[in-house]
Structures are given as C-alpha cells and as structure tokens.
Amino acid sequence: MKVSAHKAVAIVGVGAVLPDAPNARKFWENIKAGVYSITEVQRDRWDPELFYDADPKAPDKTYSKIGGWVREWEWDPLKWRMPIPPRVSQAMDLTQKWAIVATREALADFGFPARSLDSERTAVILGNAMAGDNHLYSAARVLFSDVLDELGRTPGFSRLPADMRKAILSQYHSRITKRLPEITEDTMPGELANIIAGRVAALYDFKGMNFVADAACASTMAAFSAAIGGLLEHDYDAVLTGGIDANMSPSTFVKFCKIGALSATGSRPFAAGADGFVMGEGAAVFLLKRLGDAEKNGDRIYAIIRALGGSSDGKGKGITAPNPAGQKLSVRRAWHNAGIVPLPGNLIEGHGTSTQVGDIAEVQSLHEVFAEYGLPQGSIALGSVKSNIGHLKGAAGAAGILKAMYALHEKLLPPTANYAMPNPDIDFSRSPFYVNTELRPWEMKPDAVRHAGVSAFGFGGTNFHVVLEEYVPGRLDTEGKLRVSVPEMDWRQESPAPKTPFRGALVIGSDSEASLLLRLNSVLQDAIAGKAPAPAVPAEADLRAQVRLAIDYADAAELADKCGKALKALEEHQPGRWKALRAKGVFLGSGPAPKVAFLFAGQGSQYVNMLRHLRDSESVVAETFATADEVMLPLIGRKLSDCIFLDEADEAALTRAEQDLKQTAITQPAVLAAETALARLLGAFGIAPDMVMGHSLGEYGALVAAGALSFEEALRAVSARGNEMTKCALDDNGVMAAVFGPVDQIEKILASIDGYVVIANINSTRLQRCGMPDSWHGRSRSATHSTPGSWPRRANRWHRCCGA
C-alpha cells in the first residue's frame, strides 16, 4: 500500500443538470427516493416513427426509443449577465450550455464570488466523448447536397419535366434547411468538444489550463485524473472538473443498436432481465482543491478523493468487449494508491451498465479483487446510478461520483432502483457484495472511516476506479498528511485491529538494499527521538518487495538498538551477521516473497484452556469465542467457552473438561473456534494466506478462512457432524495411532503383524520437526498412549505444530 494521504483532494462545490434533476440537490433527492427517470423519446428530440423499428435487423433503425432525458433545466445567460449573444447561444450545443449551467451552480455552491478563487490559478478540465448532437446535424446539412445530387440522377426523377424537377428540389431543400441549423461563423465553435471547457474558462476568466478529456464512457474519470494530477503538482490551486454528455441523436441510437448494446425494455444493473444499457444524458461539475488548502480556507467539504487507479485492457476479445483483467487492475490500483484496505460496510458504485456480459464481468472482477481482503459475504453495498438515469456515456463517472459523494456526506446508503431479483449468472451468495435496494443509514464500526469506490469503463479498453472518503474534520496535520487514528487496514476479522500486549513488529521493504537503507535510517532517527511506529498491519507493498526487513521490538529504545545493528549488517554486506540477528528478532528477506499457506489441524489438537491468554488480551479472539457461544448454546445446552476455559487450580474441573473435550460434539466446534480465532488474529496483524488447507475437521476451518463458508454455518455443521459421530458405536471401536516413518517401512511392519491393522491415512510424505523450542508449544502431550485421545496433562514434550 502506498502512503498517499497527503495527496487527498477535497470536493468543495458541485453542480449538475441530469434527468429529472435541474440541479445537484434534486438529483440526490431523486436517488434517495429511488426515482426511475427512463422514458420514451419525445418528438422535440427526434421522431420515433422515422427512426424506430422493433426488429433489431431492420437497416438504419433503432430498436430502442427509451432513455434518460434532460427536460427540465434553466438557460438564461442574459439574466445571468453572461456575455453570450442570442445568435451565439443558438449555435451552442447542449454540452456547452449544460457545462455552463452546472459550473455556475458548482461555483455558487462553493460561495463564489463572495468566496474568491484566484482566476490565474483556476483550471477547467472536463470529460466528454463524441461532443454533442449539433455537429451531426450541421454535417447533415452540408452533406445534403449529395442527397440532392443522387436524387437528380435517379432514372424516375430525371424523366420528370425540368420545371417540376426544379420545383421539387427547391421545396425539398427548403424543408430540410428549416429543420437543420444554419451554418455560420458560430457553428464550429458551438459544437466542438474542446470548446466545452473553453466556454467555462472564458466566461469566468479562469486562466489555468483548460481542455476536454475523451476516454469514451470513462471520460469523466480521465478528466478527474488529469485535474487531480495538476492540483498535486501545484500547476493550479482549484479546478473545475466533471463530465458532460448530450449525444442522444437517432444516429447514436442506431449505431449502438447495431452493436446489440441497447435495451428496449429498461435499465436493470446486476438484476435479472438485464438485456442492455439505456442511454442517458446530462452533466455534473465539481470544484476541487487540495485538502490542506480547503481546510485552511474554511471551505465546506463534501468528501475527499483519496486516489484513482487506471488501466488498459490491452489485448482482449474485441475493442468494445469488457475485459475483466483490465478492470481488476484499475480497481486494485485505486485502493493500493489510496493506501486503504476496504472494510465491511463500504460502498461500491459500479459501472453497472445493465448489459448481460458487462455486469457479470464487472462483479466477477470486483469479487476477485476484494476477495484478497477476506471480507465477509454480503458486507459491501453495490449499486449503479444507471438504474435511475441510464448510462451517461462520457458523463457516467460524473453521475457515479456525485451519488457516492452525497452518500458519504450524508452517511446514507442509497438504493439501486429497478432491482427485483439478482442476475441469475451472478452468485452473490459467495460474494462480499450485495445490491442495496433501500435507503438506510450508512453504519460502520465505531471510529471507522467510510469509503466509496466508483468505477467507469470505456470503449477501447480504458478503465478507471476512484476511491472517495468521508470528510472527518481534524484528520489533517500540519504536514498535509492524514492522521490515521483508527486502523484503515483490516483483514479476516469482524472487529478492530488487535489491542495487543505483544511486542511491536516493523516491516519495511524496497526494491534494493540501497533504498532499504534510506528507509531504515529514517526509522532509526525517529526511534532515537523516542518515536516508535504504532501497531499497524504491514503494507502489502512492503510484504511483496524485493528486499524486506522485519524487526521485533518492545519500545523505541529497543527499536533504535536493532535498527542500528541492521544498518551495520546491510552496510558491511556480511551475510553471517543475519543469522545472529535472527535470534534477536531481526530478519532480512530478499527475492520473490514466499506464498503463505494456512493448514488447519483436525480433531485431537484440542486441550483445556487453549488460547486462554489470547482470548483475555485480544478482542478479535474474544469476539470469535463469543460468536461460538451464541451459536452453540442452543445446540449443546451451554456456552462453548465453558467447556474450554476453566480455573487451573480446580483439578477436578480440569479433569472433567478434558473428558468433555474428547466428546466429538464438543471437540469439533471447540477446535473450529480456536483455529478460526487464530486465523483472524493473524489476519489482524496483516498475515493473510494465499492458500488454505484443512486436515479432516480442519477442512471446515479452511473453508471459513477462504470465505466459502461462514463461521456460524461451519459451527452448526461440525456440531451436527460431531453429534452423529457420538451416536456411532460398535462392539469394537478399534484404536488409531499416529506413526512417524517412511510408508514402505510401515507397510513391511504391518505385513508381519497378525490381526487387522491397516494404514488408514497418509498425512504427509515427509514430516520434520519445526525447529521451534519446546517452550514455544505450550502444554505438552505424551507420545505414548493405550487408547485414542488419552493424553495425560503432564507428560513428555511433543510439538503440536509439527508432530515431532
């Protein structure tokens, strides 16, 4: 994870013109109310009788006539005292007008002009694809001469009398030119895409850079990326950015229909019946400033942008087909760039176009990325504003960001509209995502910070994802970096990071020993000054770096001592020093980081008071056993903890407990609870497995760790399993023994024995002592026994972890 909090950008003003919403506030009210703004085209835009045909194969026709249309908005530049003459206004495309309207609202929302902006250091960077409709109609007027020429060359027309031909052509030309805009000196600047930003900059005399970014349906995100980059480079101090789209001409409908992309029935992201996207139109503009500047100036802050991630699909199935590989890269990069690990309760505003292939690919991509964080099933709300207003193409990301921004600002989870049943090809039962369908408070664990991710993917294989964060006043220090007062990195657990009485652990990594030396020296200087890092999950980038250093320490003084020793070992290039330093808790690793596997043991590894000290000191362990108690109480008639944790001074109670723990109905949930608690505790310290395996009963623990089965479900399953095993009784139950040795030699020995003795299971082809000291393994067992499970409490040393 990157340290990027100092790059946070504040949203300090918003404006919008969207379907059924002449301003940003109305849009948000519609979203909260679940308003569905998809309707049929009206004749003032284009006549469906001319261009519509329900047959998808009909040439030059659209089989869809529905969309998210902007019908209510105000345009009065004279009233607003803007220097836009009527003839110029008439030639301006809707994209330019809506950009001005939305900008005007965003500036007023900020408080401009009472709250000043430095005109020389204010930029305008907007997203748009395909310009608007005006250039299509002006082109049609110019090309109409070709139509007249072809008409004049048709045999039937040429046989008409000359005066009749002349009259027909004149009338035809007169009718068409009345319908199509006159071409004047204002035509070209009125329809060019780049002028969208230029109009805004000119009207307000903003002299920072201005331009338009085109990345198809990801154009808004491309504009945001450029806008934020310029802010962070101090090219300017404020920037107006967002997206505008007004391309809803019949030709656009026809072309999308020939791809088979449009729906004729409605917009249903992630839902059953999704059969294509519904086009929409509109604009949303945001005023951004560096977070430090916004706080210093006392600006009202809606939310902050932590980071963006972008990618290209590269080589895929086709230039317009969604590629999960590229989508995953953009999402993963955004959260990595933000230095944040998603928590249960966060929100994802998906691209969610309502296409059959696109929705499935997107959810699968999100699932694969978020599965890396071990999030519980159904813990992340997923939505798409396209369920309300359709797909705004180049402005799609602007609508998504506006929705997520308001959700963070008001701490509400907005509903996704038009969602009755999930898409049958999307398995939400095994996913951390669920589609939220009702307005409700956005609840998080105490002190946790809300985050939202917003995706936009465009034709041509361009992908963007942005991470937004709720604004919490006072999290910014004098150096412009966010104070992380609560754990932003959380792994396989449903509780805060450990309060830990354990010693601290520093993990840093870099691409080379030289750069690692620089980082280590910085830590050393802080430690000498009495500053030791607070307990935190190691950054993934450090864990996966080419050269890695880990130091165990109790306080700043010990950390300074060990940092000094590690520095000397690195500077002197003496590999032998590291063997001695390992014994002192200083470890150096290099090369590809090894994979981590968790192996969950089966029945027989249990003992009285196992994990007691961890339960008493670590909230994640205590909460795991509390959950187990709640589930098991109605199944066994008492709390599971009462079967495990007893007073060490009560010998009689300990003896009874040892006998109880041999009963499979208790043993199996007890082992599962202990193993799950350990896995969650390791996760809280940033140790997440790349793979999991389970032996016998341990398979259930592995399934829980992998997110394939909930802890509660697994407890009920092993309880039922244990009960059935208890009921199974034979005259001769036999015995089982664990034997360590080569399989071929054991087979020879068994062949020489009278009676029925067989190899029931080969646990491993090779098993070695782990090398850990006896004292590390806790209570010991005897390596000899006469009946299964009869382990004396006081016996010879025997390592539970390795079998030695």
Rounded (10°) angle between helices 575-583 and 556-572 = 160
pLDDT the model gives residue 59: 96
The number of CA neighbours under 13 Å toward the Cβ of 80 is 17
Contact yes or no for 547/511 (Cβ under 8 A): yes
Beta-carbon count within 10 A of 436 CB: 18
pLDDT the model gives residue 317: 67
pLDDT the model gives residue 767: 57
Specify the DSSP element, H or E, that contains 731.
none
- Show Cβ contacts of residue 711 under 8 Å, excluding neighbours closer than 6 positions: 624, 627, 628, 676, 704
Q: Is 744 helix (H, G, I), strand (E, B) or coil?
A: helix
pLDDT the model gives residue 313: 86
- Average pLDDT by stretches of 10, the chain with 804 residues: 71 98 98 97 95 96 97 95 94 97 98 95 96 91 89 90 91 87 93 96 97 96 97 96 97 95 96 96 98 94 96 78 85 90 92 92 92 87 97 97 98 96 92 95 89 94 95 63 38 36 76 80 84 79 86 89 87 78 89 85 86 90 93 88 86 81 84 93 85 91 93 91 75 79 86 85 63 39 33 34 37
Beta-carbon count within 10 A of 87 CB: 12
Rounded to an integer, what distance in angstroms lies between the CA atom of residue 195 and that of residue 286? Answer: 18
Please measure the distance between the N-terminal and C-terminal CA atoms of the chain and give it in whole angstroms.
39
| Amino acid at position 504, single letter | G
pLDDT the model gives residue 571: 76
Eight-state DSSP code of residue 215: B
Q: Where are the beta strands (DSSP E) in 402-514?
A: 412-413, 433-435, 440-441, 451-458, 462-470, 504-510
Beta-carbon count within 10 A of 773 CB: 9
